[in-house]
Structure 1
Amino acid sequence: MPTPASPFDTLTPRRRGKIYIRVSSTKGRDEIYSPEMQEQAARARAAQEGIEVVGVVYDLNKSGRDFAKRKIQEMIDEVRRGEYEVVLLWKWSRFGRNLRDSLNNLHELEKAGGVALSGTEPGDSHTTMGRFTRGQMLLIAELQSDQIGDSWRDTHRILLDMGLPHNGVARFGYKRVGKTYEPEPIIADALAEMYQRYVDDEPLSSAARDMANLGIRASNGEVLTSARWLTAMETGFAAGLIRKRKPGATSRRFDQWDWYPGAHPAIISRELWDAFCAKRTSSLGRNWASTKAKYSISGILRCWRCDRKMTAGADARTPPQVRFRCPGIVTRECKGVTVLLKVAEAEILEWTENRAQSLETVEDMARKAATERTRSSEIDKLQRAVADAERQLERLVELYEDDAIDRETYNRRRAMRESERSQAQIRLSELGAAETAAKRAMPPEFFKGMREAWPVISQDRRRQLIKQVVQKIVVHPGHRGDKRLEIVPF
């Protein structure tokens, strides 16, 4: 019996596919296989098989494992809905963070009625030998990954013995001098003062505000919030120490680290560091590292003035009530706005009730139309930016080949243009996902169920339901009784 010329001989003739591109970061450094190289190989395979490419999904290691898991699951769901049939990869190992992830994702894709193809490696899901070959490619990739991990662990061990951090990134309060670090004037003094004020039980938000008023900034020019100060202080670098995760540590919590002597000079005394550690450790609650949302609107509220995500805290009332505030109020970068949790939830429930009764107001329809226009305009702008970056990259190659620019200039400009293009492509992917979500609007039954379940479900579960139907909620100023929330649905 003759063997089919292509695995697609047994599939629907529509032959639509989406490319999935992943660029890993190897200990802080991007790998050599660029998104462009991966996309080129995947498109070549698509052309060979007669597949229409309907989109590209980029995972450029900007959001870690959760980002990749979410994007891959979205692609599997799209295949299940019949939006396309094929996922095109550069290598089989790109479809997961390890061997198990890749095999699970491939299995889920096939259960959904789809198929994956690699642009550079043999193997398929339709024949015994094809599945065997694909498995061997994944095993080889796992072996290579483990060998790289072993090499980096050895390197980190050597650096730790030398008193050096495992990477060369900037350290707040220090400047890089050769292979080590020296205290940076003014910034180092400010950091030492923050340690002392924290140990003296002074509110960190007040100290952070004072530093902002004095002009102390992060290396990128941003104002340092109290949370960012605490993050810098927790590293222990200012005490002349290098930290390393404890064996078996499952989080980045303060008590999950060990500290070792560093080769760099300390900014603060060991006594001050010990006092900081004692105070910091005593403040860690049992659920300090919980991944569950504490409130139903955590991470969803935005300030109408500056679009910052609003944060929660207790107000001065008796009994205290949860109030969300613009973080720009503390740093004095924004006049900000505040809203009580109970006020916000009441407006959200009213909005949910209207959706349950299919009561879409004129304002809602106008807002939805405006959102669609804005999204369409941004997509056009980003597509032009991608095309412009590609033209500039082609021009750079011509200039380099004509010896009009040297290699250093070429590499620097190419990196800038590729970064611009990658950022635009990532945003295009996000907008495409939002557009898809907007097309599958939830029926009134969903909102009825949400309204009925609201009183008995947890804050975290409430947030999960809100996130399914709402992009963000913009908080406006207003008087008592005014509607202050602008709910932006998908």
Structure 2
Amino acid sequence: MTSKRVVLYARLSTSSDESVSIERQLEAGRDYCRAKGWEVIGEHVDDGVSASANAPEHRRGWQALLNRPRGSFDVVLIWKVDRLARKVIDFLHADEALQAKGAAVASVSDPIDMSTATGRAFATMLAVFAEMEAEAIRARVKAARRALVKAGRVPGGAAPFGYYNAPNPDGPGKVVAKDPDTIGFVTQAAARVLRGDSMNSVAAYLDEVAPRTGRKNSAAYWTITVTKRMLQNPILAGMTAHNPGNTGKQRGTEVLRDETGMPIIREDLAILSIEEHRALTARLAVSEPYTTPNPSYLAGLVWCGHCNRRMYRNAKSMNGKKVRVFQCQGKEGCGQQVTNLESIVEKTFLDRFGSLPMMRLERRGSDRDLAEVHHQISDTLARMSEDGADDDALLERLQALKSLRSKAPEPDRFEPILDQTVAEWWQTDRREALLSYFTGVRLTRGKGGRNFDPTRLTLIETRRIRIDPTVVPMDDPDAIAAAIRESKRSPEET
């Protein structure tokens, strides 16, 4: 009996299947070689590697095997054909690579002989069956996963930050639930982004209140990328990410939907409305320019009354102290500057408007629902134009959404809600409160010193139509129309 030089190769997708464990595959190969009188000269392993997702040439263990010199081994012994490949094309490529090395494939469990045409045909048939088995497994896993997701159960994996996998109160398995210890941090982070805070500051906030200690295979800190990924998760709006067939590293953008094509919302998981989450993801998609660590609510809103140029805030030293000043800069600028402008504008604005009630318009439920249907129709049409789109599934969704739209009730009227004063809103969002009345401020030169001359400051009137609900009866259409006409005649500056 001619002794052959053999290299053993073993592969396993997961480490939970003891029947085909790496050690059992190698031990079976050693026993086989002893019975044949063959010499084992090496062993190569790919542990935790899927054959369906990774061709042999993309696996480290197989690459190391092929790096052996040509003619240094005669046979590569595997436990079964599916340990080498689960696709026919992958098996044939692997066999071709071994032939180039002057070696052949042999199997412990499958009687294959790659030295004859009949043996090669039989081995190819085994690879065909391995591929069919892989497809069947994939279909079963996808069906089981979708059934779990539709039932609200966790199909596997860790829960997003701010949530945890809790025991299912209605049966077996687990369901996602809010983590009372961390969900507040997610809510605060989202609020900070929506109000315009920089991503650096939001990441720093999370590092302070919720350090990423003890997290395996992940960033040690809240980087901008990690923070954005956490906030982009549709679970924040109560939606479940569902992207069957997505094999990329990037999270897909699809969510679980009902039979009408609308996203399924779990109110018990949501910390944002779907509109708020859409605004959040749009904000996260914009690259941030460099910003100062202490941004001014007046940034970009201050104009020089002489040069009609925007004034910018800089740090300067005055009397040995570092202060922030707004200045008309550049060769064409007049150089005028003012300190403490934020406090000056705040006093001027609140003295005039602080006691007024803020009016916001509350949309009734049918309005929100109909607007969301329109958005989902537009989103579906956009997806249909993408390369590789599942046109049949998207067309079915589009038809369901249009049917839902045809059944939606007529929109209800907007209703004014008075729930806070301008001063109270100012404490929440100074910039937005100012912009609800004015487009900015204009400064002219004047006498310097500690006492600011208020005549130097002009608030630039917005073109928006404003109605004072304490003066105009909101249930009288004629009074509202008259107020609108009067508002349009108001001067641009005040």
Q: TM-score scaled by structure 1?
A: 0.49
More helix by percentage: 1
Q: TM-score scaled by structure 2?
A: 0.48
- Higher-RCO chain (CA-CA 8 Å, sequence separation at least 6): 1
